[in-house]
Amino acid sequence: MVKLILVTHGNMAKALLHTAAKIYPFDKKSVDVFSVSGRVDLQRVAARIKKKVSPEGTLIMVDVFGGTACNISAGVTHGMKNVNVLCGFNLNMLLAALGNRDKLSAEELAAKVLESGSKSIFNVTEKLK
């Protein structure tokens, strides 16, 4: 199973994970969540993320490209095999990750999650015209 790590500013990751659990049951302990807001020791967070990476495959989802969550995640995993860091994650992406991480490789899961996220972003008003 591909390891899933969520890294965001504030409580975004925790809130999305809580919401996802209401839609798709899963073991919450199987997903690691990190917040990089406030008075957080960023070196400690980076070390903890690095410890959680699985050699079998890891998908790290972060909120904003170029933000602290992204920079720490990309920096600490740079050069590691079977690790993908995706930015801009939303609830559809999280649900896709949770529903497919036990049947896809890390690379396949990253592609599936990106596809799900892309398909879920559109102008509803325009679509209904």
Q: How far apart are CA 54 and CA 27, in angstroms?
A: 17
The answer, yes or no, to whether residue 40 has pLDDT greater than 90, is no
pLDDT in tens, 58-100: 999 999 999 999 999 999 999 999 999 999 999 999 999 999 9
Residue 28's pLDDT band (boundaries 50, 70, 90)? confident
What number is the average pLDDT over the span 21-50? 91
> What pLDDT score does 75 carry?
95
Q: Compute the mean pLDDT over every residue in the chain, rounded to the nearest whole number.
A: 94
d(CA 31, CA 87): 17
Sorted by where each starts, the structural domains of the chain and their CATH numbers stand as 3-127 (3.40.50.510)
